[in-house]
Structure 1
């Protein structure tokens, strides 16, 4: 019995370590070699007790000693082989980046109907309010999990799963998470609590622990980015990124996604680019950060003491809604951390493809400062901006928030023209003022050709009505275009009526049936 006790103790330690620490069972990760090294070390200590002479060393001790030395050597070699000196070329190539010259190609002209205006903080506040209205006691039992910006039926939504609020709440409510929250990213008034009882969650325990429920089936992979997404039928799933390493125990490489049914706990692995179309995030924001860091650091090789040509991101990541998909974006600047960008990287989290558009201009933090200067008397704060394309002009867009955290206005700032910045209490007012600022200051792209060439329409009003508070919509005879006029800027519009002769100036914009008036003159009112 004494002879097999060390073996049983070693096996017990190994099983306990695997169950509780869930190490990746692959030598491309450091956890497994370290655990095996620890188990062998304890085995050697217990078996060498009582050994006084070299001839007393048995075959078990010799094998264990040999395995210990091999494992220790592997760990040392793996650490050395994983250093940037040996891996920088591989790391540099991890970002599948393509340089493009046209901003219109990287970021399409903005669709104001699908403009993402709610950030995660706004959507979370709406979710908390929704839970309180549905059941005041729900918030004490469950917490709102991490939000995922997803596309559901071609519209962007923030999706928040409910999760267990601690061990004792899990014991009393296991298997009874009541649902998830879906908040429109484009409309403050569209939020929904989806009743959908499920069990598995990142905050669950034992079999209800999401990672543990996957571990013994996918133990050869590293698991990360446990995001909750909704398919086009409205059913929620956990989407987990599976990865391995490209260089010994470093250089994360995504291999696929694991989709988990939170009700049945059934899971399916999909290799990269074979996942269902509704999955929005295969590559996490953390993966993007790492790949971008490698790209900027090693763009001119490993040995670059002068930092020539090195790039870094602008200390923030945002989103772009493009072609019905959510993209990550960030500005790039030199490692000197000046206030100007060298361009933008747009990253597709479904495919891992990146597009680098070289545009010099202000970084996001500079633009936020310019926006807040406009409203400094009110003390409003601008959110981290989204990147938009407004008629060819690279533009930052932010919501403005008061002391309570509620959105009180909207702001636009040109990336390249520091003077072209504007805000408004409504989205339409802010966009109209921004168009005026671009015309006044001279846009750098499509709008620069329109500075002295506004399109003027002179005609007779056939119909006039109220669009929203403070805005009128006008149709001219023999003209299919609808013109939106701000009554605060042009008070005469509130006195206008059918049959009046008017002149309306606007930007030359193709492919739309509605346009904002930059100038409005009613010739019939004397």
Structure 2
């Protein structure tokens, strides 16, 4: 009692105790949350409470009953609380320009580059999860574990979904001690089975506890680094690696930047640090999805400052949001480089209009926004409109579209939409033209879906749309050496080979009424769109033998 009484009346001792108590509790909080040990983090976590305790301490009377000596504590506490409240609720408003500049977007008044359809994944995450989750039962002591997050990446030049096995709770982690497996599913072959990659002893994982937690493991050696979400990215030889991006904040804790990655061997615990320009080639994801989504929001919202978001709202647009999450989707270009894609729409959440779309390179962070006159004059439909078209098509089956992604296919901006049932099982693959959502092709396999879509583009090409884009319009004249006829509903599909070309030419009778009369030996002149594929669709056919 004598000590407490003395402490209450000795202001210097009281202030020291308040500071030490707040610092200790703040350190404990940062340790528990595995946050960075920086000045801004300490102030954000403990600044208000330090101010409040000093404020209250200043109100305690001295030995003579006077409160005059406590005015300094009182004022210091009040100022700390006001500063904390300003930084927490007001200062962020003043950083709108800095947030817009952080996105550092290059605006292009053009279409994205045409994609090779081989690099379009045909397996959506829901179907990958359906396949992968069933593999958990093959893991020894499977009750100790649960499946982790699924992410798509390139391994040994093939696009695959991978998901690590994770601990299923604290007590089960004590029994399991290590994580022994992960799941790999082809993203390019919808018929390929899931693979269980087992035989590992991973001690450092995101679901681990205490020193076994991968973030806490890094934090022990790098206390001040700002850590972003980890991605699981096995090497080409199958060995497991966790990629943990790190960075810093500017403008207090309002604007995040990625500075590099930590590569963690989950078995040995070895940590390798790389700057953004030194990351090994096998790593696809340096910029995490959360940062890509944040930068898209900054770019669409703060072009004309904060006040414009309240009044006027000039040029405001926002990335599309989805109920199932995944605001940004991983896409891969011709060389297999990964980018984060999302489309931008108006502030009206029910809008079906596309005002632009973006690609953020997942390694370099380069932000490219495709907008301007090219997009606005095209009247493109956004991802919600594409999903709506697909859902109406499969209304009877109660199948729905998932994870719509925009590509430049055959020179046309096209939504690629996997179609799944209520269990997440892949049923069809649909292609929806962004200019005219009524042009919708679908099939159970990717090759047939693209062939049908190409036929539709040619059918609608006359006067309504240009299906060529960057593909080249060509003409060839020669003799038919083989011909085949296949019924396609109420229509007839005719295929033939010519003596002076290795391509297979296709036309529908509805496009060319004389197609059913073609036969071997006929001389024909064919105009077609050269997409560098073996099977090409004829846009115009003239049978020179019968002059039709």
TM-score, normalised to structure 1's length?
Answer: 0.82
The answer as to whether partners of 1:330 and 1:344 remain within 8 angstroms in 2 is yes
Decide whether aligned partners of structure 1 residues 297 and 171 sit closer, same or farther in structure 2, where only a CA change above 3 A counts.
same
- Residue 319 (structure 1) aligned with residue 317 (structure 2): no
- Residue 329 (structure 1) aligned with residue 338 (structure 2): no
Match of 2:215 in 1: 211
Match of 1:179 in 2: 181
Decide whether aligned partners of structure 1 residues 409 and 167 sit closer, same or farther in structure 2, where only a CA change above 3 A counts.
same
After TM superposition, give the deviation of residue 414 of structure 1 in Å. Answer: 0.8
Match of 1:309 in 2: 315
Decide whether aligned partners of structure 1 residues 450 and 123 sit closer, same or farther in structure 2, where only a CA change above 3 A counts.
closer
After TM superposition, give the deviation of residue 458 of structure 1 in Å. Answer: 4.8
Match of 1:34 in 2: 45
Structure 1 gap ranges (5+): none
After TM superposition, give the deviation of residue 187 of structure 1 in Å. Answer: 1.0
C-alpha distance in structure 2 between counterparts of 1:38 and 1:515, whole Å: 70
C-alpha distance in structure 1 between counterparts of 2:120 and 2:409, whole Å: 11
Match of 2:253 in 1: 249
Secondary structure of 2:307 counterpart: coil
C-alpha distance in structure 1 between counterparts of 2:135 and 2:163, whole Å: 12
Secondary structure of 1:362 counterpart: coil
C-alpha distance in structure 2 between counterparts of 1:151 and 1:449, whole Å: 26
**Cα shift readout 1:195-233 (whole Å, capped 9, x = no counterpart):** 232111111111111111112322212212111112233
- Residue 83 (structure 1) aligned with residue 88 (structure 2): no
The answer as to whether partners of 1:450 and 1:507 remain within 8 angstroms in 2 is no
Match of 2:241 in 1: 237
- Report the more deviating stretch, 63-72 or 302-311: 63-72
Match of 2:130 in 1: 125
Secondary structure of 1:129 counterpart: helix
After TM superposition, give the deviation of residue 52 of structure 1 in Å. Answer: 2.8
Match of 1:347 in 2: 360
Decide whether aligned partners of structure 1 residues 252 and 426 sit closer, same or farther in structure 2, where only a CA change above 3 A counts.
same
Q: 2:393 aligns with which of 344, 361, 374?
A: 374
Match of 1:20 in 2: 32
C-alpha distance in structure 1 between counterparts of 2:35 and 2:499, whole Å: 73
Match of 1:459 in 2: 479
Match of 2:283 in 1: 279
C-alpha distance in structure 2 between counterparts of 1:148 and 1:398, whole Å: 18
C-alpha distance in structure 2 between counterparts of 1:318 and 1:445, whole Å: 28
After TM superposition, give the deviation of residue 415 of structure 1 in Å. Answer: 0.9
Decide whether aligned partners of structure 1 residues 151 and 502 sit closer, same or farther in structure 2, where only a CA change above 3 A counts.
farther
Decide whether aligned partners of structure 1 residues 226 and 16 sit closer, same or farther in structure 2, where only a CA change above 3 A counts.
same
After TM superposition, give the deviation of residue 425 of structure 1 in Å. Answer: 2.9
- Report the more deviating stretch, 499-508 or 364-373: 499-508
The answer as to whether partners of 2:51 and 2:81 remain within 8 angstroms in 1 is no
**Cα shift readout 1:441-462 (whole Å, capped 9, x = no counterpart):** 23644438999x8856653447
The answer as to whether partners of 1:81 and 1:87 remain within 8 angstroms in 2 is no
C-alpha distance in structure 2 between counterparts of 1:390 and 1:243, whole Å: 36
Q: 1:300 aligns with which of 298, 304, 309?
A: 304
C-alpha distance in structure 1 between counterparts of 2:213 and 2:191, whole Å: 34
After TM superposition, give the deviation of residue 74 of structure 1 in Å. Answer: 4.6
C-alpha distance in structure 2 between counterparts of 1:485 and 1:131, whole Å: 48
C-alpha distance in structure 2 between counterparts of 1:259 and 1:317, whole Å: 23
Decide whether aligned partners of structure 1 residues 16 and 301 sit closer, same or farther in structure 2, where only a CA change above 3 A counts.
closer
After TM superposition, give the deviation of residue 188 of structure 1 in Å. Answer: 2.3
The answer as to whether partners of 1:500 and 1:522 remain within 8 angstroms in 2 is no
C-alpha distance in structure 2 between counterparts of 1:522 and 1:178, whole Å: 65
After TM superposition, give the deviation of residue 519 of structure 1 in Å. Answer: 9.4
- Residue 97 (structure 1) aligned with residue 105 (structure 2): yes
The answer as to whether partners of 2:58 and 2:67 remain within 8 angstroms in 1 is no
C-alpha distance in structure 1 between counterparts of 2:420 and 2:440, whole Å: 17
Matched length: 508
Decide whether aligned partners of structure 1 residues 56 and 172 sit closer, same or farther in structure 2, where only a CA change above 3 A counts.
same
After TM superposition, give the deviation of residue 171 of structure 1 in Å. Answer: 0.7
Decide whether aligned partners of structure 1 residues 406 and 336 sit closer, same or farther in structure 2, where only a CA change above 3 A counts.
closer
Decide whether aligned partners of structure 1 residues 53 and 158 sit closer, same or farther in structure 2, where only a CA change above 3 A counts.
farther
Q: 2:271 aligns with which of 245, 267, 270?
A: 267
**Cα shift readout 1:82-133 (whole Å, capped 9, x = no counterpart):** 321x211111101121122332xx333x32333211122111111123333x
Match of 1:417 in 2: 436
Match of 1:480 in 2: 502
Secondary structure of 2:228 counterpart: strand
Match of 2:64 in 1: 53
Q: 1:202 aligns with which of 202, 206, 216?
A: 206
Secondary structure of 2:305 counterpart: coil
C-alpha distance in structure 2 between counterparts of 1:118 and 1:200, whole Å: 29
C-alpha distance in structure 2 between counterparts of 1:130 and 1:291, whole Å: 36
After TM superposition, give the deviation of residue 249 of structure 1 in Å. Answer: 2.4
The answer as to whether partners of 1:372 and 1:382 remain within 8 angstroms in 2 is yes
C-alpha distance in structure 2 between counterparts of 1:426 and 1:265, whole Å: 42
C-alpha distance in structure 2 between counterparts of 1:514 and 1:421, whole Å: 20
